[in-house]
Amino acid sequence: MKNKYLITSLLSTIAVVGLLAFTTPGKKHVITHHAENAGLKLPAGFSGNIIAENLGTARHIAVTPQGDIFVKINYNARRNKDAKGIVVLHDNGTGAATVKTSFGNFAGTGMYIKNGYLYASSDVDVFRYKLNDKNEVIDPNKPERIVTGLISRHEHEAKAILLDNNGNLYVNIGAFSNSCQEKDRQKGSMGQKGCPVLDSAAGIWQFKADKPDQHYGDGVRYATGLRNVVGMDWNTQLNQLFVMQHGRDQLHDIFPDLYTVQQSALLPAECLYAIKKGDNAGWPYIYYDQQQHKKILAPEYGGDGKKTGGENAIDPSVAFPGHLAPNGLLFYTGNQFPAKYKNGAFIAFHGSWNRAPEPQAGYFVVFQPFKDGKPFGDWEVFADGFAGTPEQVASGRADHRPCGLAQAADGSIYVTDDSKGTIYKISYKK
């Protein structure tokens, strides 16, 4: 755990340095990364380009048809009180993006554009800004607070946000716990009966998108049993919410008699779920084992790594290897990429910290094909090379960590990096 918090602190420091080095509005970024395809490994026909660097901890992004990119910056307020939480870039398709402006006195993760508003979240609030007919923020100094009082207890505090077509706002409230133990992350500690965390967190909450100053208690618990969700998107073919869950940690550390270090490094799965109102994904009572293809009863609640559980819990749509940390989800609806990508899902994996003694892994963007709104075929690594050398990947000392995804008006996709504040643009040309 000390290593995890050390890494978090280091990333915060890097973010501050990036913000201090931020380019003056109206100027082009000076891109220092000149490697082919921005150092990325991509399928044939695709090209990668860096359009901005050193933005700080760049999390989720939202894009307008006019080519503006709103980037949510999760800066450290204690270390940089003058930082801004939203950076606006303009991409005219010729290389480096132009910095238009920055505003917002709150850090955080979520960013979304819908029905003439820019929505942005801190770890405790959701705000919105009115946009003009050019999709520019009208008054950056006076956001409207839509939701306040969201639970944030220094673990899984990021608030991903999403809006549907019916005036609803969805917010992730992550569990402030690994597996709802009586003593969190302590060897041999059993699970709390009834898991009180589920009363206030570990799920997706639904609010009204246009009602100001809603409190956490005004929301509807739309789905539960989700340990932590950072990546989510709306599947337009099914008109349904999809989310990527971060699976639990430390099976061997907590129950060494039941799990080997190798099992703990690879289990449980990071899961893509198709969510309907009232769904329960089963945390903390179960986890999904992608090797056995089963829902397994958690050891905190009497499991032994083989007993199944969660008969009433939903099954994942896709199960990925453990501890890769999915932070971005995007259903591709553009026309630039080849036909196989249409309506499929891109997932940005931030990368692992707890796969020892196995090599660390992730730090890439994968693609999962879909057909008629359902996963179709195997997933594949789409964009790799963010972390740097193979040695950097194996050790977890990644140069860049994919986080947010968005689709450009021309059908390209953007990928954010919340380690060094880089924005990548991936395009296809026949």
Determine the Cα–Cα distance for residues 239 and 201; give it in Å rounded to an integer: 25
Burial of 149 (0-12, 13-18, 19+ CB in 10 A): middle
How far is the C-alpha of 173 from the C-alpha of 127, rounded, in Å? 16
* pLDDT attached to residue 18: 40
The CATH number given to whatever domain includes residue 65 is 2.120.10.30
Cα 416 from Cα 53, distance rounded (Å)? 10
Q: Which pLDDT belongs to residue 10?
A: 39
> Looking at this protein, which amino acid is placed at residue 109?
T
Please give the DSSP secondary-structure letter assigned to residue 285.
T
Query: Which sign, positive or negative, has the C-alpha torsion 88, 92, 94, 98?
Result: negative
30, 73, 99, 102 from 26: Cα distances, Å: 13, 19, 5, 11
CA dihedral 409, 114, 88, 326 (to 10 degrees): -80
Q: 35 CB contacts (<8 Å, ≥6 apart)?
A: none
**The pLDDT value given to residue 14:** 38
3-class secondary structure, 241: strand
Asked if 143 contacts 128 with a C-beta cutoff of 8 angstroms, the reply is yes
Per-residue pLDDT of the chain (430 residues; tens, 9 = 90+): 434 433 333 334 333 334 433 445 665 655 655 678 999 999 999 999 999 999 999 999 999 999 999 999 999 877 777 789 999 999 988 889 999 999 999 999 999 999 999 999 999 999 999 999 999 999 999 999 999 999 988 789 999 999 999 999 999 999 999 999 999 999 999 999 999 999 999 999 999 999 999 999 999 999 999 999 999 999 999 999 999 999 999 999 999 999 999 999 999 999 999 999 999 999 999 999 999 999 999 999 999 999 999 999 999 999 999 999 999 999 999 999 999 999 999 999 999 988 988 889 999 999 999 999 999 999 999 999 999 999 999 999 999 999 999 999 999 999 999 999 999 999 999 7
* CA dist., res. 323 & res. 264, Å (int): 10
* Three state DSSP letters for 39-96: HCECCCCEEEEEEECCCCCEEEEEECCCCEEEEEECCCCCCCCCCCCEEEEECCCCCC
Contact 174, 228 (CB under 8 A): yes
pLDDT at 30: 54
Q: Which two tokens stand for residue 252?
A: 């061997």
Query: Distances from the Cα of 46 to the Cαs of 49, 411, 428, in angstroms?
Result: 10, 12, 4
Contact 226, 202 (CB under 8 A): yes
Integer Cα distance of 171 and 352 in angstroms = 24
Specify whether the CB–CB gap between 172 and 152 falls below 8 A: no
**Which residue range is the domain that position 123 belongs to?**
2-428
DSSP one-letter code for 264: H
Counting the structural domains of the chain, the total is: 1
CA distance 159 to 172: 5
How far apart are alpha carbons 69 and 159 in whole angstroms? Answer: 20
Give me the pLDDT at residue 343, please: 97
Strand partners, 147: 126, 214
Please give the pLDDT value at position 16.
37
| The token pair that represents 407 in the structure block | 């689709």
The residue count of the chain comes to 430
- 8 A C-beta contact, residue 274 and residue 226: no
CA dihedral sign, ordered 256, 258, 262, 267: negative
Residue pair 53/71 in contact (Cβ under 8 Å)? The answer is no
